[in-house]
Amino acid sequence: MSLLPTSSELVARARADLRVGLPVVLGERAQGLIALAAETLTPARLSALRSLAGQPHVALTARRAETLRARAYDGDLARVILPPDVDAAWVRALADPALDLDAPMKGPLATAREGAVGLHRLALLLAKSAQLLPAMVTLETDDPAGIAATLMATCLTPEAAASDLALHHPLSPVAQARLPMEAAEQGRLHIFRPDNGGIEHYAIEIGRPDRDKPVLARLHSACFTGDVLGSLKCDCGPQLHAALGAMGQAGAGVLLYLNQEGRGIGLANKMRAYSLQDQGFDTVEANHRLGFEDDERDFRIGADLLRKMGFRAVRLMTNNPRKTAMMEAEGVAVTERVPLITGTNRHNAHYLSVKRDKSGHML
């Protein structure tokens, strides 16, 4: 067994590098890209990047480019030509819509319309996987291996990195223990970890569900604000407790607690979205202004966990038809959709109407 890192481990290393402000290099042979996350860019590193030959760009998703009225000639992304006189704070303001009111004068923005964009697209996917704002400061290079060695930077080959980012990494059981809960004294908590060093996910097993029958199941995405703080802006906390209560009353069930906060964008970006909602944007509009899609979650995780635990069929507690379709596509039979309707208050009424009207939830 080699002690060298695998392509998946290099991607994990690259995510960590971006989060602390280090550059990563994407490419092979004579086509490459130096990329830094706009969110963690420092003045010193911007200056160092400018000292290299070439024209730096800021790669943005088309969603964010639309907000900035920057032309996305590349379809799903735009490459903003970095003006020579702007600083790191300007770059951050370009990426972070929470700063739109503080720094409204960022344009007109010139965007590139020629050249290959595959590496820029890969850089944005990498930023998303690190739960950073999807905005990357980039500089093309014809010697990716050489510049990576000079900068002591993680170097990713495009095909391997793209494959890893699209892959659902298998989850392995790490630990489990008996856990008496208010909802049910007969409870167990299972911890699962993906093989790429990513975030762990949990399964809460109520009673002793029969593996030969459809189990009452719920896929619940983590919501720190709702589950822990009792936020009134969403219905997550009430749904969590209602699902556990129903399983306790039935005597058996499994709730999968998936660490995909904020529909997969992370807690920091979710708080940015909340800030935009305070300005009058709805949930979907806020995600788009941040540069994300409506929902960035990967529900394949839920199907994988159920199979790992020996379940092949579920009575799924959900209002989201996308979850039902994903389960079926992943080979887990949904014998019944069990509605999970909770109360409405003046703080979450609009949020729930957006879930119904824009995301197709059956409320």
Catalytic annotation, residues: 295, 297
Q: How many whole angstroms separate alpha carbon 241 and alpha carbon 228?
A: 11
| Strand residue runs (E) in the chain | 24-28, 31-37, 57-61, 77-81, 135-141, 154-156, 171-178, 187-194, 201-207, 215-221, 252-258, 313-317, 333-338
* Preceding peptide of 134 cis, ω within 30°: no
Instruction: Provide the 3-class DSSP secondary structure of residue 205.
Output: strand
- Which residues, 6+ apart, have CB-to-CB distance to 27 below 8 Å? 33, 119, 141, 144, 155, 157, 158
Residue 12 tokens read as 């994990």
**Phi and psi of 52, rounded to 5°?**
-85, 155
Instruction: Kindly report the number of other CB atoms within 10 A of residue 187's CB atom.
Output: 21
Using DSSP bridges, classify how beta strands 215-221 and 313-317 pair: parallel, antiparallel or unpaired: parallel
Q: How far is CA 204 from CA 15, 28, 257, in A?
A: 29, 44, 7
Instruction: Provide the 3-class DSSP secondary structure of residue 112.
Output: coil
State the DSSP H helix or E strand holding residue 13, giving kind and residue range, or none if neither.
Answer: helix 7-19
**Phi and psi of 343, rounded to 5°?**
-70, 160
- Which residues, 6+ apart, have CB-to-CB distance to 53 below 8 Å? none
Q: How far is CA 285 from CA 98, 99, 142, 176, in A?
A: 13, 16, 38, 40
- Length of the chain counted residue by residue: 363
